[in-house]
Amino acid sequence: MTPVIDTTMMLLILSNMALLGLSRLRSCIAVASFQGMLLGLFTVFAHMQALTLRILLIAATSFILKGFVFPRLLRRSIREASTQNEMEPYVGYSMSVMAGMGMLGAALWLGSKLPLNPAAGMDFVVPTGLTTFFTGLFLIVARKNALTQCLGYIILENGIYAIGVISVVEIPALVELGILLDAFVAVLVMGVAIYHINREFDHIDTDQLDTLKG
């Protein structure tokens, strides 16, 4: 399975770079949706030799939630907020991709330091997961649009999920599903919050949410 896993990880990294370089929100959501489906498949690939009903259930839930439900919620928010592009970001797109390269380097270094001892053929999963985690964090910090920040949270959660799939196999399905449900509710709540912010302010530019200081 090594080539399949490695290819999946390469695609994940490329999707991260695309997220950092794209300005159109719909394109970003499409990439995040692709990443979600990829992670669902990866869950199955990673446990192909000992596939259980628990793994299949988690993989299917993840595939549907991250691949279809989250993007649908975000697209609805785009329609309601009538916004298409990221506003002037704090960090430009070219610089963001450069930062993405830096994050990949940092993730490779950190991954080598963490003794997670992944199974054979999974060596690249931890650095990829960490890169995805950092990418999500970067999108939250460096973008002004509330929708992109919400997207950043999903990407960040994707990174943790990828690491969790290979490093922890003992967590019961109920807990994992609870965690996925929490992520779902978080995205839902953020979507509702964006709707209210847009109604109150006529924009979703978080840079302008600056009344409360000190």
Partner 1 sequence: MHYEIVLWLALLVPFVIGLICTILPSVRIALGAMCCCVFGTCVAGLAVIWHVFQHGAVFTVSNWLFLDGLSAYHYLVMLLIYCLSSAYAWVYFGEELRQGHFTRRQARLFSGLWCESFAAMSLVLFSNNLGVMWVGLEATTLITAFLICIHVSRESMEAMWKYIVICSVGIAFAFMGTLLVAASARGIVSQDALLWTILRDNAARLDPKLMKAAFIFLLVGYGTKAGLAPMHSWLPDAHSKAPAPVSAIFSGFMLNAALYCIMRYIPITESATGGTGWALHLLTGFGLLSIVVAAVFILFQKDLKRLLAYHSVEHLGIIALGLGLGGLGTFAALFHTLNHSLCKSLSFFAAGRLGQMFGSYDMEKMAGSFRASPLWGAGIFGSILALIGIAPFALFMSELQLVKAAVDSSSMAALILFLVGSGVVFVGALQHAIPLAWGRPKGMLKPLRFTALEALIVVIPLALLLVLGMWMPESLSAALKNASGIVQSTLPAEVVVFSGYTP
Give the footprint of partner 1 on this chain (CB under 8 A): 113-117, 133, 137, 140, 146, 149, 153, 156-157, 160, 163-164, 167-172, 175-176, 178-179, 181-182, 185-186, 189-190, 192-193, 196-197, 200-201, 206, 209-212, 214
Name the residue nearer to partner 1 (CB basis): 67 or 111.
111
The radius of gyration of the chain's CA atoms, rounded to the nearest angstrom, is 17
Q: Please enumerate in sequence order all residues whose Cβ is within 8 A of that of 48, keeping only pairs 6 or more positions apart, or say none.
A: 1
Q: Please enumerate in sequence order all residues whose Cβ is within 8 A of that of 108, keeping only pairs 6 or more positions apart, or say none.
A: 127
Q: CB of 187: closest distance to partner 1 in angstroms?
A: 10
Rounded distance between C-alpha atoms, residue 17 and residue 183, angstroms: 23
Q: CB of 168: closest distance to partner 1 in angstroms?
A: 4
Task: Give the CA count within 13 Å in the CB-facing half-sphere of 3.
Answer: 0
Name the residue nearer to partner 1 (CB basis): 79 or 210.
210
Name the residue nearer to partner 1 (CB basis): 94 or 208.
208
Name the residue nearer to partner 1 (CB basis): 41 or 160.
160
Sequence-ordered strand ranges (E) for 108-214 = none
